[in-house]
């Protein structure tokens, strides 16, 4: 993970579908640090964006990821 090329890197896994556009109870990996956290994802704008939230204990961080065309 740390120091590996980001193309093709597995960064989200073990999610469970929660409604039409939400996925929960998954694992997220920070490609820069290699740290794995609990997380959830919401699909936005028909799949053009992902609202990604990672949690460690009582701390959380949310990012919006944009699809590269």
pLDDT digits (tens, 9 = 90+) for 18-38: 999 999 999 998 877 888 999
**Is 1's pLDDT higher than 60?**
no
pLDDT digits (tens, 9 = 90+) for 32-67: 788 899 999 999 999 999 999 999 888 999 999 999
Rounded CA separation 10/59 (Å)? 23
Between strands 36-44 and 59-66, the pairing is unpaired
Rounded CA separation 10/8 (Å)? 6
**Is 12's pLDDT higher than 70?**
yes
Q: What is the pLDDT of residue 54?
A: 93
Rounded CA separation 46/31 (Å)? 25
**Is 4's pLDDT higher than 70?**
no
């Amino acid at each position: 993970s740390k120091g590996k090329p980001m193309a093709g890197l597995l960064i989200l896994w073990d999610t469970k579908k929660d409604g039409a556009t939400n996925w929960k109870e998954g694992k997220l990996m920070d490609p820069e640090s290699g740290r794995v956290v609990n997380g959830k994802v919401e699909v936005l704008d028909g799949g053009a964006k992902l609202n990604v939230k990672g949690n460690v204990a009582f701390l959380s961080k949310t990012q919006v990821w944009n699809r590269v065309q």
